[in-house]
Amino acid sequence: MRGHELLDKMEMIDPVYVEAASVFPPKKQNGLLKRCAALAACLVLLLSAGFGTYAYAAEAKEYRAAVQFFEDYDLSMQGLTRYEIRMVYRDITSKSFSYSKTAEVFINSISSGTVEGCEILLDNPTSKDIAAFWEYYHEKIILDASTQSYYRIQNEYVRDEGYDYREFKGSYLEKYEGKNIVWRSATVSDFSIRHYHVVSDGVIAYGGPPPLSPGKLDAYASIVKFDKNGRIVWEKRLTHGFEEEYITEIVENADGSYAVFSRGDSKYFCLSQYSALGEEIHFRKTEIGDIGFDQVVPFDGGYIVECKYADSIMKVDYEGNILASFSYESEDEQYLITDMVVLNGQIYLSTYATRKDQNAPKYLYELSYVHHYAAELYRNEGVLISNEELTPMIRDVYTAVLLVCDLRTGKVDEFYSVPGAHEGKLSINSAGNLIWRVENIMSARHTPTRSFASFYIMCSVWQYTFDQTGALIGQKKTDEVTSFDR
């Protein structure tokens, strides 16, 4: 059978479907909209309520109570056996939080609600805009390279001639201003630095075994504190008894101590508190299952931790107890959290939304169908998809969304969305206003000969300012340009 025959056979489409499609739907209104009919947030844990420990002799009675409890607090029973429901119920009400399924319940618990928000529309870039943008971009790269201050991680290896093997010698940081090196830190020799943060009195860096060493990549985790001139102040290796442990984030507390967030044996959420002098003063681990976590922001009472690839965040106290977990998801979109800020009793989550694709792994292939479309065009007709056709397709995939959530309940109070924009970054300016810098997609190129990505996407950054009540009070296009690959 050929295409024209199948086109003819389409006449056999059920009359019900034909009738349903005979009239186009009424037009949607732009501007204020109810975007997320099912945008969900849920409070899954209420420690302050003071639950007692329930001990029912009869299993059935306990099960009924557990089900009622799940219903009362809108917890998800999805995928749980009767036994597991009872165990989670016991785990929560006894405040022990040691049962592995409890965290899964937190993450899976979603309640529906309608949230109102505001769509901030930006005009699609014209060809003139894009030409001006590229010209500016090339100048900008040269300009930035001469003025920026930044750090660079360096790993040193020595070659063993006899075995032709590169042996790790050490790891250090370099600080640059423009092209000039300001200082080179002392070398740490027993671990490889992977990340660093600039803190009030220097730089704190962390990592694990060097990449080329034999054994497990995350066999241990280490921290080194450098002063402002790159000298080592202290160095520690985490010793929590795990076969594998890696540090996901370090946050400087207000008193100069450090909260070290790590993951043990791929199932434990760990929080260690280190004094400013590098002494471990507290440690707590909680089994949460196979949930990774990423960035952390402090608030008055603890920390907000982003659960990686789970559209969710956890509220954690200073001791490392998980107080609550909130999930954010809509019926047909997924939200990837890119930045967080806690301000005036609200959590601001900068996310970008992409349509859910049941045929593709979450987040990994958000452009999978555009990839297929472009690849097919290239394969069948031997032509690259043009920038003019590709750019609106990619703009169509992404929407930057700022979720404004209540710190106590996690409920989304409102949102702001910018169609055609990728991720955003949050900060607070000197006047105490919230700044949301959003990457507006300007131009995309198909580059199939590159080995690591197929699309090179350029963005201009727009800045939105919100006052202390959370009201949008300004927007402007900045001089900043960014890019990302997919």
Partner 1 sequence: MEDERIVELFLARDEAAISQAAEKYGKRLRSLSYGIVSDMQTAEECENDTYLEAWNAIPPHEPRTYLYAFLARITRHISLNCCRDRHRLKRDAQICELSAEMEQCIPHPNDAECLMDEILLGDAINKFLGVLDEQKRNIFVRRYWYLDSIADIAKGFGLSEAKVKITLFRCRNRLRDFLEKEGYNV
Q: Which residues bind partner 1 (CB under 8 A)?
A: 1-22, 24-25, 27-28, 359, 369-370, 372-373, 389, 392-393, 395-396
Task: Kindly tell me which of 129 and 235 has the beta carbon lying closer to partner 1.
Answer: 129
Task: Kindly tell me which of 197 and 362 has the beta carbon lying closer to partner 1.
Answer: 362
Shortest CB 133 distance to partner 1, Å: 20
**Identity at 204, one-letter amino acid code:** I
Task: Kindly tell me which of 177 and 388 has the beta carbon lying closer to partner 1.
Answer: 388
Shortest CB 12 distance to partner 1, Å: 3
Task: Kindly tell me which of 71 and 396 has the beta carbon lying closer to partner 1.
Answer: 396
Q: Which residues pair with 151 in a beta bridge?
A: 175
Task: Kindly tell me which of 235 and 389 has the beta carbon lying closer to partner 1.
Answer: 389
Task: Kindly tell me which of 7 and 142 has the beta carbon lying closer to partner 1.
Answer: 7
Shortest CB 32 distance to partner 1, Å: 16
Shortest CB 388 distance to partner 1, Å: 11
Task: Kindly tell me which of 149 and 386 has the beta carbon lying closer to partner 1.
Answer: 386
Task: Kindly tell me which of 273 and 330 has the beta carbon lying closer to partner 1.
Answer: 330
> Of the candidates 323, 271, 268, 272, which has an alpha carbon nearest to the alpha carbon of residue 291?
268
Task: Kindly tell me which of 22 and 429 has the beta carbon lying closer to partner 1.
Answer: 22
Shortest CB 38 distance to partner 1, Å: 14
Shortest CB 26 distance to partner 1, Å: 9
Shortest CB 353 distance to partner 1, Å: 14
Shortest CB 376 distance to partner 1, Å: 8
Shortest CB 331 distance to partner 1, Å: 10
Cβ atoms of 200 and 256 within 8 Å: the answer is: yes
